[in-house]
Structure 1
Amino acid sequence: MVDDTNEDAKGEARVRPAENVAAERRKARLAEQLRANLQRRKQQARARRAGDADDRQGLNDGTEPQER
């Protein structure tokens, strides 16, 4: 008889090697995205401290009166 469940004798979930590899790849990808996001936010903060213009368009930056 073949046991095709994903639980061991204690009822704990077993992780198959393929699932483990996929989970590790996902963790690495998410970590890389998090680092890239952090770097982007740091750059934005540095630009604000330096007084550089914000490249975004569409919203008034508050230095000029709004047109009505």
Structure 2
Amino acid sequence: MEHKTTPINKAKKAATSREDRLKAALKANMGRRKAQVKARAQSDATDSNEAVKSKGQD
């Protein structure tokens, strides 16, 4: 016997796939943001270390 897809089943599938896409997009976005914060923190640490070294050379 074949399973018939009803409009309700299609709507549930669409909602589920939309949620999955949104979850994946959110996870990717959070990963990018974390990488940005990490890169900025490293950059700031490097900049502050260079500033301290240059002040000591004067």
How many residues end up aligned between the 2 structures? 42
TM-score normalised to structure 1 length: 0.53
Query: Per chain length, whose mean CA-contact separation is higher, i.e. which structure has more relative contact order (CA < 8 Å, sep 6+)?
Result: 1
**Which residue is equivalent to 2:32?**
42
Please state which structure has a larger fraction of its residues in helix: 2
Spell out structure 1 runs of 4+ moving beyond 2 A: none
Q: Which runs of 5+ in 1 are unaligned?
A: 8-12, 53-68
Q: Deviations over 1:10-65 (max 9, x none)?
A: xxx4322111110000011111111111111100011111126xxxxxxxxxxxxx
Structure 1 vs Structure 2: percent identity of aligned residues? 7
- TM-score, normalised relative to structure 2: 0.60
Q: What secondary structure does 2:20 align onto?
A: helix
